[in-house]
Amino acid sequence: DGAPLIGGDNVVRSRVLELGGVKVGLFSLMVDSHVPEYVEQINTDYVGVAKAAVAELRGQGAEVVLALTHLDARDDRKLLTELAGAAGPDMILGGHDHVLMTVEANGRLAIKGDADALRVRVVDMWVDKDGKVGWESDPSGVALGPEAPADDPAVAKVVEARLSEFEAKFCGEAGPGCLSKNLTVATTELIAEELEIRRYETNFADYIVDQMLTSFAADGAQLAFINSGALRLNQNIAAGTKISRQLIEETFAYPAPMQLIEIKGAVLQQVVDHAIEDWTGSGHWLQIGGFAFRHDVEAGKASGLTLLGPDGPTPIDPKKKYKVVTTEFLLDKSIGNQDGYKMLSKKQVIKSKAAGTDLKQVVLKALEAAGEQGVGPERDGRICSSDRASGACLAAK
């Protein structure tokens, strides 16, 4: 009958609140990258949904309408561009992109802070006597740290209890403290903070992608790539830090089963071209292994695709087929939106005994095997970014 399958006082489509004597209308939109099993589909006609929601809220007397979105920045921009004036929201408070940004169109803003609240956005809004909505917001955001703001004792107590309960259930037969188990030590700083791993090559990602290649070495795997949104630790690991299981569990928030596919070099170029689209710190940015390329940041172009094989670097041939390791999420549209990699599909999968192996388990075993010797991968120049010209570059000119 169209009614929601789940509900509650805190689950609403929209609401009008009175804040500071002003009636504020709220509604929300989200991506369809992960559709819960109890949801048939998520309506991705964001402009149509927003237009109807704004009209309904203004009809209820809202003087200010705010959209709470979890969309790509380009979709936020489309809302601002296509819904001008009273037809659209007065401001978009967004997320999803994991990096602080401001998008402006038609005199209105979509603002986002960093993931994990590294920098947040603070907005002062008001309504003039003529009904015009005004605002002020520092585009650089407000940086938060260990003591700003200070922990709320009541919240901290709840968090500690929940974490203890989670660890007990997660560890199960492994016994208490399994998440604190040290696997090995970092002999150099491992770069995993999202502002880096979602825009540049990092040594932590290089190490992980190399494990993908190793897992399918018996099948002759030549290349590997993974969407950076699958690597969610969002903090660097300092040299000398003992790497615990918890750090790896936090890195892989979702299962990451791997598959071996076969694609032509021309398709690989399409893959890389998509990886550099909307280069703002989005999760579709790739971390790679077995090949290299040049990223012209200003021009928004990828070139110089180079196979890093046992016989030395050779240009990727657009007509030649290559064996590539990647994760099922980028291949299977039934799982989610593939992070936009529509040129990839399950039809490209070829047989392998390692098919379906979970990357997290592979990384855990590799780190444990490293033991006291530790791990210290170096960034070797697989992705050559034009705004960081110094350092090695393995891609052809």
Are 159 and 138 within one domain? Answer: no
Q: What is the pLDDT of residues 53-103, one digit of tens each?
A: 999 999 999 999 999 999 989 999 999 999 999 999 999 999 988 889 999
Are 241 and 371 within one domain? Answer: yes
Instruction: Give a yes or no: residue 391 inside a domain.
Output: no
Helices (H), 253-339: 265-275
CA distance 383 to 364: 25
Are 173 and 284 within one domain? Answer: no
pLDDT band at 116 (very low <50, low <70, confident <90, very high): confident
Are 107 and 168 within one domain? Answer: no
- Alpha carbon dihedral 228, 379, 273, 262, in 10-degree steps, equals -80
Domains in the chain, number? 3
With CA atoms as reference, report the closest residue to 74 among 105, 52, 48: 105
- Whether the per-residue pLDDT at 188 is higher than 60: the answer is yes
- Whether the per-residue pLDDT at 2 is higher than 70: the answer is no
Q: For residue 174, what are the domain limits?
A: 151-180
Kindly give the pairing relationship between strand 91-94 and strand 101-105: unpaired
- Structure-block tokens of residue 172: 């199960």
Q: What is the pLDDT of residues 213-249, one digit of tens each?
A: 999 999 999 999 999 999 999 999 999 999 999 999 9
Are 290 and 161 within one domain? Answer: no
With CA atoms as reference, report the closest residue to 291 among 225, 208, 335, 350: 225
**Angle, vertex CA 292, rays to CA 288 and CA 296, nearest 5:** 105
* Burial grade of 9 (CB within 10 A; 0-12, 13-18, 19 or more): exposed
Backbone conformation region of residue 321, classed left if phi is above 0, alpha if psi is from -120 to 50, else beta: beta
- Whether the per-residue pLDDT at 146 is higher than 80: the answer is no
Are 253 and 354 within one domain? Answer: yes
pLDDT at 279: 87
Q: Are residues 232 and 253 in contact, defined by beta-carbon separation less than 8 angstroms?
A: yes
CA distance 30 to 388: 34
Q: Give me the long-range contacts of 333-339 (CB less than 8 A, separation at least 24).
A: 335/34, 336/32, 336/33, 336/34, 336/35, 337/31, 337/32, 337/33, 339/33, 339/227, 339/229, 339/283, 339/284
Instruction: Please say whether the dihedral angle defined by the alpha carbons of residues 18, 20, 21 and 26, taken in this order, is positive or negative.
Output: negative
pTM over the 0.75 mark: yes
pLDDT at 28: 95
CA distance 187 to 241: 8
Return all residues near 161 (Cβ < 8 A) that are at least 6 apart. Answer: none
Are 105 and 227 within one domain? Answer: no
- Whether the per-residue pLDDT at 10 is higher than 60: the answer is yes
φ/ψ of 264, rounded to 5, equals -80, 160
Q: What is the pLDDT of residues 322-363, one digit of tens each?
A: 999 999 999 999 888 899 999 999 999 999 999 999 999 999
- What's the chain's average pLDDT? 93
Q: What is the pLDDT of residues 190-222, one digit of tens each?
A: 999 998 999 999 999 999 999 999 999 999 999
Are 340 and 364 within one domain? Answer: yes
Are 259 and 332 within one domain? Answer: yes
Least confident span in 32-36, 39-43, 267-271, 370-374: 32-36
Q: Are residues 275 and 285 in contact, defined by beta-carbon separation less than 8 angstroms?
A: yes
Are 111 and 160 within one domain? Answer: no
What CATH number is associated with residue 22? 3.60.21.10
CA distance 190 to 186: 7
Instruction: Give a yes or no: residue 265 inside a domain.
Output: yes
Q: What is the pLDDT of residues 78-87, one digit of tens each?
A: 999 999 999 9
CA distance 369 to 39: 42
pLDDT at 115: 84
Q: What is the pLDDT of residues 280-314, one digit of tens each?
A: 888 999 999 999 999 999 999 999 999 999 999 99
Instruction: Give a yes or no: residue 392 inside a domain.
Output: no
Quickly list DSSP for 108-175: EEEEE--GGGSEE--EEEEE-TTS-EEEEE-TT-EE-BTTBSPPPHHHHHHHHHHHHHHHHHHHGGG-
The enclosing H or E element of 91 equals strand 91-94
Are 380 and 281 within one domain? Answer: yes
Instruction: Give a yes or no: residue 394 inside a domain.
Output: no
Are 194 and 332 within one domain? Answer: yes
